[in-house]
């Protein structure tokens, strides 16, 4: 699993540019599912048929996209001005190494603030080593997207940090589940979604076409176990979370109970999550067609939407056991 996460977090894939991630996942799942297709938004839809023709259709969603910075204009001196793709936080962006799809590297830096000026992405620029506007435009084009270029690294005995942990960790988790899943009665449709970070867009269209009976999103969630951070009652390393609600969805209580029962049966400690803000692909699935019961299984993650998003491998492995148990494997 750790190797799988290392592999998928290393791939470039901001919202709307998920093709390389999808290609790698398609390779990893060759022969493990009954069908694989991509839709117009780039969602990778992998179906494994159940043994019971009257079984349920269960959609498991993990988003492939990561947050990024889109070039809005280039200054005479060759500096790039940027806007956000998804929840880029200025506080997490000072003097960061960034990379573009074509391999161009740069430094994201904040200029000195004028009196009364507040920090925002408008006060940031990317230096790609160009001497002027023409040289910069020979390296990149307006609309190109940079992502944090930090490498994935190990921390302590069980932890892994990467800028793309949200949500490649869950892509790896879903790949691993499909690789291990024996024949079960229900049909599982694993959807590796696109454009989650800009408003759950891939999950919106894929849930409509897949027509599941139940939807479960796999994602990271914030923790409340770092200095002065007490907004959520979730701790790293104390197990995956079963989401009761967040700002985009209220989980189906029966489904929440089924997931808790699966966790108990598998002997996995889980946490109950109530997140007063944020959302996951469950928010889109819940509202598809006539609606469906949804829930999110999350892996606690420190420093979400930074260049060093930290997860604990024991939580990832716990999430895998809970989901395999829920599916009846
Ligand atoms: Co995110
Ligand atoms: Zn996410």
Residues of the chain with CATH 3.40.630.10: 2-66+163-327
Rounded mean pLDDT of the chain? 97
Query: How many angstroms separate the alpha carbon of residue 66 from the centre of ligand 2?
Result: 8
How sure is the predictor about 230, in pLDDT bands with cuts at 50, 70 and 90? Answer: confident
Q: Is 196 a catalytic residue?
A: yes
Choose the catalytic residue: 196, 197, 309, 320. 196
Question: Could you read off the pLDDT of 60-103 as tens digits, one per residue?
Answer: 999 999 999 999 999 999 999 999 999 999 999 999 999 999 99
State the pLDDT at residue 106.
98
Query: Residue 197: nearest ligand to its CA?
Result: 1
Query: How many angstroms separate the alpha carbon of residue 167 from the centre of ligand 1?
Result: 7
Query: How many angstroms separate the alpha carbon of residue 135 from the centre of ligand 1?
Result: 33
Place of tokens 């940090």: 161
How sure is the predictor about 18, in pLDDT bands with cuts at 50, 70 and 90? Answer: very high
Query: Residue 305: nearest ligand to its CA?
Result: 1
How sure is the predictor about 329, in pLDDT bands with cuts at 50, 70 and 90? Answer: confident
Query: How many angstroms separate the alpha carbon of residue 274 from the centre of ligand 1?
Result: 17
CB under 5 Å of ion ligand 2: residues: 166-167, 219
State the pLDDT at residue 52.
96
What pTM did the predictor assign?
0.96
pLDDT at 25 over 90: yes
Query: Residue 88: nearest ligand to its CA?
Result: 1
Query: How many angstroms separate the alpha carbon of residue 168 from the centre of ligand 2?
Result: 8
With respect to CATH, is domain 2-66+163-327 assigned 3.30.420.10? Answer: no
Quick one: CATH architecture of 68-148? Beta Barrel (2.40)
Residues of the chain with CATH 2.40.30.40: 68-148
β-strands 57-63, 214-221 pairing: parallel
Query: Residue 63: nearest ligand to its CA?
Result: 2
More confident residue, 153 or 329: 153
Dihedrals phi, psi of 13, to nearest 5 degrees: -170, 65
State the pLDDT at residue 149.
96
State the pLDDT at residue 231.
85
Query: How many angstroms separate the alpha carbon of residue 284 from the centre of ligand 1?
Result: 15
């Amino acid at each position: 699993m750790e190797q799988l996460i290392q592999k998928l977090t290393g791939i470039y894939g901001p919202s709307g540019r998920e093709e390389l991630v999808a290609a790698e996942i398609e390779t990893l799942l060759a022969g493990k599912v009954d069908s694989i297709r991509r839709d117009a938004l780039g969602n990778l839809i992998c179906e494994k048929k159940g043994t019971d023709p009257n079984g349920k259709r269960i959609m498991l969603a993990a988003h492939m996209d990561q947050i990024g910075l889109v070039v809005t204009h280039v200054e005479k001196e060759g500096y790039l001005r940027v806007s956000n793709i998804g929840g880029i936080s200025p506080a997490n962006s000072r003097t960061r190494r960034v990379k573009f799809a074509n391999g161009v590297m740069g430094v994201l830096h904040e200029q000195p603030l004028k009196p009364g000026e507040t920090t925002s992405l408008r006060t940031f620029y990317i230096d790609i080593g160009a001497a002027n506007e023409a040289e910069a435009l020979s390296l990149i084009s307006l609309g190109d997207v940079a992502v944090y270029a930090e490498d994935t690294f190990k921390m302590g005995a069980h932890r892994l940090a990467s800028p793309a942990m949200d949500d490649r960790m869950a892509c790896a988790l879903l790949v691993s589940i499909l690789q291990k899943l024996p024949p079960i009665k229900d049909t599982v449709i694993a959807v590796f979604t696109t454009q989650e970070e800009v408003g759950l867009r891939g999950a919106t269209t894929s849930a409509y076409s897949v027509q599941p009976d139940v939807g479960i999103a796999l994602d990271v969630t914030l923790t409340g176990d770092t200095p002065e951070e007490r907004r959520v009652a979730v701790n790293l390393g104390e197990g995956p979370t079963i989401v009761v609600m967040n700002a985009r969805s209220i989980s189906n209580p029966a489904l929440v109970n089924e997931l808790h029962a699966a966790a108990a049966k598998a002997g996995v400690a889980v946490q109950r999550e109530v997140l007063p803000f944020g959302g996951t692909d469950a928010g889109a699935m819940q509202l598809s067609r006539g609606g469906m019961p949804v829930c999110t299984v999350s892996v606690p993650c420190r420093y979400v939407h930074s260049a060093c998003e930290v997860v604990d491998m024991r939580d990832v492995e716990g999430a895998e056991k809970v989901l395999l148990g829920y599916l009846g494997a």
